[in-house]
Structure 1
Amino acid sequence: MKQFIDFIPLLLFFVVFKMEPRAIDLAGHTFMVGGIFSATAVLIASSLVVYGALFFKQRKLEKSQWLTLGACLVFGTLTLVFHSETVLKWKAPVLNWLFALVFLGSHFIGDKLLIERVLGHAVTLPQAIWTRLNIAWIVFFIFCGAANLFVAFTFQEYWVDFKVFGSLGMTLLFLLGQGLFLAKHIHDADPDTSAPKPKD
Protein backbone atom coordinates (compact mmCIF):
# COMPACT_ATOMS: atom_id res chain seq x y z
CA MET A 1 0.00 0.00 0.00
CA LYS A 2 2.85 2.37 0.88
CA GLN A 3 4.26 2.13 -2.64
CA PHE A 4 1.01 3.42 -4.15
CA ILE A 5 0.77 6.46 -1.87
CA ASP A 6 3.67 7.84 -3.93
CA PHE A 7 1.46 7.72 -7.02
CA ILE A 8 -1.26 10.04 -5.63
CA PRO A 9 0.59 13.28 -6.49
CA LEU A 10 1.63 11.73 -9.80
CA LEU A 11 -1.98 10.94 -10.73
CA LEU A 12 -3.06 14.49 -9.83
CA PHE A 13 -0.18 15.77 -11.98
CA PHE A 14 -1.47 13.65 -14.87
CA VAL A 15 -5.07 14.89 -14.52
CA VAL A 16 -4.06 18.56 -14.51
CA PHE A 17 -1.58 18.04 -17.36
CA LYS A 18 -4.32 16.57 -19.55
CA MET A 19 -6.77 19.43 -18.89
CA GLU A 20 -7.34 22.01 -21.58
CA PRO A 21 -5.56 25.21 -20.44
CA ARG A 22 -8.02 27.58 -18.80
CA ALA A 23 -8.01 30.50 -16.40
CA ILE A 24 -9.71 30.10 -13.03
CA ASP A 25 -10.36 32.71 -10.34
CA LEU A 26 -9.49 31.74 -6.78
CA ALA A 27 -9.48 34.07 -3.78
CA GLY A 28 -9.31 37.12 -6.02
CA HIS A 29 -6.43 35.78 -8.09
CA THR A 30 -6.42 34.31 -11.59
CA PHE A 31 -4.55 31.06 -12.20
CA MET A 32 -3.89 29.10 -15.37
CA VAL A 33 -4.77 25.43 -15.04
CA GLY A 34 -3.83 22.78 -17.57
CA GLY A 35 -0.50 21.91 -19.15
CA ILE A 36 2.89 21.03 -17.77
CA PHE A 37 3.58 24.00 -15.52
CA SER A 38 0.30 24.10 -13.60
CA ALA A 39 0.55 20.30 -13.33
CA THR A 40 4.02 20.71 -11.84
CA ALA A 41 2.68 23.18 -9.27
CA VAL A 42 -0.06 20.66 -8.37
CA LEU A 43 2.59 17.91 -8.09
CA ILE A 44 4.57 20.00 -5.60
CA ALA A 45 1.52 21.04 -3.56
CA SER A 46 -0.03 17.55 -3.45
CA SER A 47 3.32 15.98 -2.50
CA LEU A 48 3.62 18.39 0.43
CA VAL A 49 0.04 17.58 1.50
CA VAL A 50 0.38 13.78 1.14
CA TYR A 51 3.78 13.45 2.83
CA GLY A 52 2.90 16.14 5.37
CA ALA A 53 -0.19 14.14 6.35
CA LEU A 54 1.86 10.95 6.58
CA PHE A 55 4.45 12.69 8.74
CA PHE A 56 1.72 14.11 10.99
CA LYS A 57 0.15 10.66 11.36
CA GLN A 58 3.31 8.55 11.71
CA ARG A 59 5.65 11.18 13.18
CA LYS A 60 8.18 10.09 10.57
CA LEU A 61 8.71 9.40 6.88
CA GLU A 62 10.64 6.53 5.36
CA LYS A 63 13.89 7.34 3.60
CA SER A 64 12.32 6.53 0.23
CA GLN A 65 9.54 9.01 0.94
CA TRP A 66 12.02 11.73 1.91
CA LEU A 67 13.89 11.07 -1.35
CA THR A 68 10.68 11.21 -3.38
CA LEU A 69 9.54 14.43 -1.71
CA GLY A 70 12.98 16.01 -2.05
CA ALA A 71 13.24 15.14 -5.74
CA CYS A 72 9.74 16.51 -6.34
CA LEU A 73 10.54 19.81 -4.62
CA VAL A 74 13.92 20.26 -6.31
CA PHE A 75 13.00 19.27 -9.87
CA GLY A 76 9.51 20.75 -9.65
CA THR A 77 10.74 24.11 -8.37
CA LEU A 78 13.52 24.28 -10.97
CA THR A 79 10.97 23.44 -13.69
CA LEU A 80 8.81 26.40 -12.64
CA VAL A 81 11.73 28.78 -12.09
CA PHE A 82 13.35 28.08 -15.46
CA HIS A 83 9.99 27.44 -17.17
CA SER A 84 11.44 24.30 -18.77
CA GLU A 85 9.84 20.86 -18.77
CA THR A 86 13.25 19.35 -19.59
CA VAL A 87 14.22 19.71 -15.92
CA LEU A 88 11.16 17.74 -14.81
CA LYS A 89 11.94 14.98 -17.30
CA TRP A 90 15.07 14.20 -15.31
CA LYS A 91 13.16 13.71 -12.03
CA ALA A 92 12.07 10.09 -12.57
CA PRO A 93 15.44 8.85 -13.94
CA VAL A 94 17.45 10.55 -11.18
CA LEU A 95 15.08 9.40 -8.43
CA ASN A 96 15.11 5.80 -9.66
CA TRP A 97 18.90 5.81 -9.88
CA LEU A 98 19.13 7.25 -6.37
CA PHE A 99 17.00 4.35 -5.12
CA ALA A 100 19.27 1.93 -6.98
CA LEU A 101 22.29 3.57 -5.33
CA VAL A 102 20.72 3.24 -1.88
CA PHE A 103 20.04 -0.48 -2.42
CA LEU A 104 23.56 -0.93 -3.79
CA GLY A 105 25.06 0.92 -0.84
CA SER A 106 23.44 -1.49 1.60
CA HIS A 107 25.80 -4.19 0.25
CA PHE A 108 28.69 -2.22 1.73
CA ILE A 109 27.16 -0.19 4.58
CA GLY A 110 25.36 -1.67 7.57
CA ASP A 111 24.87 -5.22 8.77
CA LYS A 112 21.78 -5.95 6.65
CA LEU A 113 20.79 -5.45 3.04
CA LEU A 114 18.09 -2.85 2.53
CA ILE A 115 15.50 -5.36 1.27
CA GLU A 116 16.12 -7.47 4.40
CA ARG A 117 15.54 -4.43 6.59
CA VAL A 118 12.26 -3.77 4.80
CA LEU A 119 10.91 -7.34 4.69
CA GLY A 120 12.93 -9.13 7.38
CA HIS A 121 10.23 -8.63 10.02
CA ALA A 122 7.73 -10.53 7.87
CA VAL A 123 9.75 -13.34 6.33
CA THR A 124 12.89 -15.36 7.08
CA LEU A 125 15.11 -16.22 4.12
CA PRO A 126 18.67 -17.47 3.57
CA GLN A 127 21.22 -14.70 3.06
CA ALA A 128 21.79 -15.74 -0.56
CA ILE A 129 18.10 -15.13 -1.32
CA TRP A 130 18.17 -11.71 0.34
CA THR A 131 21.18 -10.84 -1.82
CA ARG A 132 19.39 -11.90 -4.99
CA LEU A 133 16.32 -9.88 -4.03
CA ASN A 134 18.39 -6.80 -3.27
CA ILE A 135 20.20 -7.07 -6.61
CA ALA A 136 16.83 -7.48 -8.35
CA TRP A 137 15.69 -4.15 -6.84
CA ILE A 138 18.92 -2.47 -8.00
CA VAL A 139 18.40 -3.74 -11.56
CA PHE A 140 14.72 -2.75 -11.46
CA PHE A 141 15.44 0.84 -10.47
CA ILE A 142 18.25 1.19 -13.01
CA PHE A 143 15.93 -0.12 -15.73
CA CYS A 144 13.05 2.16 -14.66
CA GLY A 145 15.32 5.19 -14.70
CA ALA A 146 16.67 4.33 -18.15
CA ALA A 147 13.18 3.62 -19.52
CA ASN A 148 11.83 6.95 -18.23
CA LEU A 149 14.78 8.83 -19.68
CA PHE A 150 14.47 7.10 -23.06
CA VAL A 151 10.73 7.77 -23.39
CA ALA A 152 11.01 11.38 -22.09
CA PHE A 153 13.51 12.40 -24.75
CA THR A 154 12.54 10.06 -27.61
CA PHE A 155 8.73 9.91 -27.48
CA GLN A 156 8.09 13.33 -25.99
CA GLU A 157 4.35 13.33 -26.69
CA TYR A 158 3.92 10.20 -24.52
CA TRP A 159 6.36 10.88 -21.70
CA VAL A 160 3.76 12.02 -19.14
CA ASP A 161 1.56 8.99 -19.88
CA PHE A 162 4.57 6.72 -19.46
CA LYS A 163 5.73 8.57 -16.34
CA VAL A 164 2.41 7.77 -14.66
CA PHE A 165 1.10 4.51 -16.11
CA GLY A 166 4.37 3.05 -17.37
CA SER A 167 6.00 3.46 -13.97
CA LEU A 168 2.92 2.11 -12.20
CA GLY A 169 2.73 -0.87 -14.57
CA MET A 170 6.41 -1.71 -14.18
CA THR A 171 6.11 -1.49 -10.41
CA LEU A 172 3.05 -3.76 -10.31
CA LEU A 173 4.72 -6.35 -12.54
CA PHE A 174 7.91 -6.28 -10.50
CA LEU A 175 6.04 -6.60 -7.19
CA LEU A 176 4.04 -9.50 -8.62
CA GLY A 177 7.24 -11.22 -9.73
CA GLN A 178 8.81 -10.59 -6.33
CA GLY A 179 5.73 -12.02 -4.61
CA LEU A 180 5.91 -15.20 -6.69
CA PHE A 181 9.65 -15.48 -6.01
CA LEU A 182 9.14 -15.04 -2.26
CA ALA A 183 6.21 -17.48 -2.19
CA LYS A 184 8.38 -20.16 -3.77
CA HIS A 185 11.21 -19.72 -1.31
CA ILE A 186 8.93 -19.36 1.71
CA HIS A 187 7.26 -22.62 0.67
CA ASP A 188 10.65 -24.30 0.25
CA ALA A 189 11.72 -23.07 3.68
CA ASP A 190 8.50 -24.15 5.41
CA PRO A 191 9.42 -26.99 7.79
CA ASP A 192 5.95 -28.47 7.40
CA THR A 193 6.53 -29.01 3.67
CA SER A 194 10.28 -29.48 3.42
CA ALA A 195 10.85 -31.85 6.38
CA PRO A 196 9.87 -35.53 6.05
CA LYS A 197 6.89 -36.49 8.14
CA PRO A 198 7.37 -39.21 10.77
CA LYS A 199 5.81 -42.53 9.95
CA ASP A 200 3.12 -43.95 12.19
Structure 2
Amino acid sequence: MALLLEYLPLILFFVIYKTVDIFWATGVLIVAALVQLVYYKVSQGKIEKRHWIFAGVALVLGGMTLVFHDEQFIQWKATIIYALLGSALVISQLLFKTNLVQKALMGILSSVQEEQKVTIDIPSSVFNQLLIFWAILLYGIAALNLYVAYHYSLDVWVNFKVFGLMGITFVAILLTMFKIYKYLPEEK
Protein backbone atom coordinates (compact mmCIF):
# COMPACT_ATOMS: atom_id res chain seq x y z
CA MET A 1 0.00 0.00 0.00
CA ALA A 2 2.82 2.39 0.90
CA LEU A 3 4.50 1.76 -2.46
CA LEU A 4 1.25 2.50 -4.31
CA LEU A 5 0.83 5.76 -2.40
CA GLU A 6 4.43 6.71 -3.16
CA TYR A 7 3.87 6.31 -6.91
CA LEU A 8 0.24 7.47 -7.04
CA PRO A 9 1.00 10.95 -8.48
CA LEU A 10 3.09 9.33 -11.25
CA ILE A 11 0.43 6.71 -11.99
CA LEU A 12 -2.32 9.35 -12.15
CA PHE A 13 -0.12 11.55 -14.35
CA PHE A 14 0.36 8.68 -16.79
CA VAL A 15 -3.31 7.64 -16.90
CA ILE A 16 -4.60 11.19 -17.36
CA TYR A 17 -1.96 11.92 -20.01
CA LYS A 18 -3.01 8.83 -21.98
CA THR A 19 -6.73 9.63 -21.66
CA VAL A 20 -6.76 13.44 -21.91
CA ASP A 21 -3.53 15.44 -22.43
CA ILE A 22 -0.32 16.67 -20.81
CA PHE A 23 -1.93 19.75 -19.27
CA TRP A 24 -4.69 17.84 -17.48
CA ALA A 25 -2.09 15.28 -16.42
CA THR A 26 0.09 18.06 -15.01
CA GLY A 27 -2.82 19.51 -13.05
CA VAL A 28 -3.65 16.10 -11.62
CA LEU A 29 0.02 15.57 -10.73
CA ILE A 30 0.07 18.83 -8.77
CA VAL A 31 -3.14 18.01 -6.91
CA ALA A 32 -2.00 14.43 -6.20
CA ALA A 33 1.35 15.66 -4.85
CA LEU A 34 -0.41 18.10 -2.51
CA VAL A 35 -2.92 15.45 -1.38
CA GLN A 36 0.02 13.12 -0.76
CA LEU A 37 1.59 15.75 1.54
CA VAL A 38 -1.64 16.10 3.50
CA TYR A 39 -1.96 12.32 3.79
CA TYR A 40 1.58 11.94 5.14
CA LYS A 41 1.05 14.78 7.62
CA VAL A 42 -2.21 13.30 8.90
CA SER A 43 -1.18 9.63 8.93
CA GLN A 44 2.46 9.92 10.02
CA GLY A 45 2.52 13.29 11.72
CA LYS A 46 5.39 14.46 9.53
CA ILE A 47 6.37 14.93 5.92
CA GLU A 48 9.73 13.65 4.67
CA LYS A 49 12.05 16.11 2.91
CA ARG A 50 11.85 14.20 -0.35
CA HIS A 51 8.07 14.58 -0.41
CA TRP A 52 8.38 18.34 0.12
CA ILE A 53 10.93 18.51 -2.71
CA PHE A 54 8.86 16.40 -5.12
CA ALA A 55 5.70 18.38 -4.38
CA GLY A 56 7.53 21.72 -4.58
CA VAL A 57 9.12 20.93 -7.94
CA ALA A 58 5.80 19.57 -9.24
CA LEU A 59 4.01 22.71 -8.08
CA VAL A 60 6.52 25.16 -9.55
CA LEU A 61 7.24 23.42 -12.87
CA GLY A 62 3.71 22.07 -13.19
CA GLY A 63 2.35 25.54 -12.49
CA MET A 64 4.63 27.02 -15.14
CA THR A 65 3.50 24.31 -17.57
CA LEU A 66 -0.13 25.27 -17.01
CA VAL A 67 0.37 29.05 -16.94
CA PHE A 68 2.54 29.19 -20.08
CA HIS A 69 0.81 26.19 -21.71
CA ASP A 70 4.24 24.70 -22.44
CA GLU A 71 5.01 21.08 -21.59
CA GLN A 72 8.77 21.70 -21.51
CA PHE A 73 8.54 22.88 -17.91
CA ILE A 74 7.07 19.61 -16.63
CA GLN A 75 9.63 17.71 -18.71
CA TRP A 76 12.36 19.35 -16.63
CA LYS A 77 10.87 17.97 -13.37
CA ALA A 78 12.67 14.61 -13.48
CA THR A 79 15.95 16.28 -14.43
CA ILE A 80 15.77 18.69 -11.51
CA ILE A 81 14.75 15.98 -9.01
CA TYR A 82 17.50 13.57 -10.07
CA ALA A 83 20.13 16.33 -10.23
CA LEU A 84 19.12 17.47 -6.72
CA LEU A 85 19.37 13.91 -5.40
CA GLY A 86 22.80 13.44 -7.00
CA SER A 87 23.94 16.78 -5.61
CA ALA A 88 22.67 15.87 -2.14
CA LEU A 89 24.81 12.72 -2.20
CA VAL A 90 27.94 14.57 -3.33
CA ILE A 91 27.51 17.64 -1.11
CA SER A 92 26.69 15.57 1.96
CA GLN A 93 29.84 13.51 1.46
CA LEU A 94 32.17 16.40 0.62
CA LEU A 95 30.95 18.99 3.13
CA PHE A 96 29.54 16.92 5.97
CA LYS A 97 31.47 13.63 5.57
CA THR A 98 28.12 11.80 5.58
CA ASN A 99 27.51 9.01 3.11
CA LEU A 100 23.77 9.21 2.49
CA VAL A 101 23.76 5.88 0.65
CA GLN A 102 25.24 4.22 3.73
CA LYS A 103 22.77 6.00 5.99
CA ALA A 104 19.80 4.91 3.84
CA LEU A 105 20.92 1.31 3.47
CA MET A 106 21.78 0.88 7.13
CA GLY A 107 18.40 2.34 8.02
CA ILE A 108 16.74 -0.31 5.85
CA LEU A 109 19.01 -3.09 7.16
CA SER A 110 18.55 -2.16 10.82
CA SER A 111 15.31 -4.16 10.96
CA VAL A 112 17.22 -7.24 9.72
CA GLN A 113 19.84 -6.70 12.42
CA GLU A 114 17.21 -6.41 15.15
CA GLU A 115 15.15 -9.33 13.90
CA GLN A 116 18.05 -11.77 13.53
CA LYS A 117 20.11 -10.40 16.43
CA VAL A 118 23.15 -9.98 14.20
CA THR A 119 25.53 -7.21 13.25
CA ILE A 120 25.84 -6.30 9.60
CA ASP A 121 29.36 -5.09 8.87
CA ILE A 122 29.77 -3.61 5.42
CA PRO A 123 33.14 -1.93 4.72
CA SER A 124 33.04 1.82 4.20
CA SER A 125 34.84 1.31 0.87
CA VAL A 126 31.75 -0.54 -0.41
CA PHE A 127 29.51 2.35 0.67
CA ASN A 128 31.88 4.82 -1.00
CA GLN A 129 31.69 2.84 -4.26
CA LEU A 130 27.91 2.79 -4.00
CA LEU A 131 27.85 6.54 -3.35
CA ILE A 132 29.86 7.16 -6.52
CA PHE A 133 27.67 4.73 -8.46
CA TRP A 134 24.44 6.41 -7.33
CA ALA A 135 25.73 9.96 -7.85
CA ILE A 136 26.84 9.17 -11.41
CA LEU A 137 23.60 7.31 -12.07
CA LEU A 138 21.42 10.17 -10.79
CA TYR A 139 23.30 12.78 -12.84
CA GLY A 140 23.13 10.44 -15.85
CA ILE A 141 19.37 10.02 -15.47
CA ALA A 142 18.99 13.80 -15.18
CA ALA A 143 20.85 14.25 -18.48
CA LEU A 144 19.09 11.32 -20.16
CA ASN A 145 15.69 12.78 -19.27
CA LEU A 146 16.57 16.01 -21.07
CA TYR A 147 17.90 14.11 -24.05
CA VAL A 148 14.69 12.12 -24.40
CA ALA A 149 12.55 15.23 -23.79
CA TYR A 150 14.25 17.22 -26.55
CA HIS A 151 14.93 14.49 -29.11
CA TYR A 152 11.74 12.45 -29.01
CA SER A 153 8.01 13.00 -29.01
CA LEU A 154 6.01 13.82 -25.90
CA ASP A 155 4.52 10.30 -25.97
CA VAL A 156 7.98 8.73 -25.94
CA TRP A 157 9.08 11.03 -23.11
CA VAL A 158 6.03 10.19 -20.94
CA ASN A 159 6.61 6.46 -21.46
CA PHE A 160 10.31 6.91 -20.68
CA LYS A 161 9.52 8.94 -17.56
CA VAL A 162 7.10 6.35 -16.22
CA PHE A 163 8.63 3.05 -17.34
CA GLY A 164 12.21 3.87 -18.32
CA LEU A 165 13.14 5.78 -15.18
CA MET A 166 11.40 3.23 -12.98
CA GLY A 167 13.23 0.42 -14.80
CA ILE A 168 16.61 2.11 -14.48
CA THR A 169 16.01 2.70 -10.79
CA PHE A 170 14.93 -0.92 -10.24
CA VAL A 171 18.08 -2.23 -11.96
CA ALA A 172 20.23 0.14 -9.89
CA ILE A 173 18.60 -1.12 -6.68
CA LEU A 174 19.28 -4.72 -7.75
CA LEU A 175 22.92 -3.89 -8.48
CA THR A 176 23.20 -2.25 -5.08
CA MET A 177 21.76 -5.34 -3.39
CA PHE A 178 24.18 -7.60 -5.28
CA LYS A 179 27.03 -5.40 -4.09
CA ILE A 180 26.12 -5.74 -0.40
CA TYR A 181 24.65 -9.27 -0.52
CA LYS A 182 27.82 -11.05 0.63
CA TYR A 183 27.88 -8.92 3.79
CA LEU A 184 24.32 -9.81 4.81
CA PRO A 185 23.76 -12.54 7.39
CA GLU A 186 22.53 -15.92 6.28
CA GLU A 187 18.96 -16.69 7.20
CA LYS A 188 18.57 -18.98 10.18
TM-score (norm 1): 0.80
**Structure 1: which 4+ aligned runs deviate by more than 4 Å?**
1-5
1:96 pairs with 2:82: yes
Aligned residues: 174
| Structure-1 separation of matches of 2:2 and 2:180 | 19
Q: 1:144: which partner in 2?
A: 141
Shifted more, 7-16 versus 109-118: the winner is 109-118
Distance 1:109 1:58, change over 3 A: farther
Structure 1: where are the runs of 5+ without partners?
20-33, 191-200
CA 1:179–1:5 in 2, change beyond 3 Å: closer, same or farther?
farther
Q: Is the 8 A contact 1:9 1:43 kept in 2?
A: yes
Q: What amino acid is the match of 1:16?
A: I
Structure 1 residue 147: Cα displacement:
1.4
User: Cα 1:167–1:100, aligned 2, differ >3 Å: closer, same or farther?
Assistant: same
2-structure distance, mates of 1:179, 1:43: 31
Matches within 5 A, 1:1-200: 5-19=5-19, 34-121=20-107, 122=109, 123-156=120-153, 157-186=155-184
1:126 positional shift: 1.5
**SS state at 1:185 partner:** coil
| Equivalent AA in structure 2 for residue 75 of structure 1 | L
Question: Aligned-pair distance for 1:80?
Answer: 0.7
Indicate how the Cα distance of structure 1 residues 141 and 5 shifts in structure 2: closer, same or farther if over 3 A, else same: farther
| Paired residues of 1:64 and 1:99 also in contact (CA < 8 A) | no
SS in 1 for 2:95: coil
Q: Cα gap change, 1:64/1:4 in structure 2, threshold over 3 Å: closer, same or farther? A: farther
**Could you list the per-position Cα deviations for residues 13-44 of structure 1 after superposition, in whole angstroms to 9, with x for gaps in the alignment?**
0100111xxxxxxxxxxxxxx10111100000
Specify which structure has the higher proportion of strand: 1
The higher relative CO (CA closer than 8 Å, separation ≥ 6) is in 2
Runs of at least 5 residues in structure 2 that lack an aligned partner in the other structure: 110-119
Bigger-Rg structure (1/2): 1
Deviation at 1:135, TM superposition (A): 1.2
Q: SS at 2:144's partner residue?
A: helix
TM-score normalised to the size of structure 2? 0.85
Q: Residue type of the partner of 2:175?
A: G
Rounded Cα–Cα distance in structure 2 between residues aligned with 1:148 and 1:4: 23
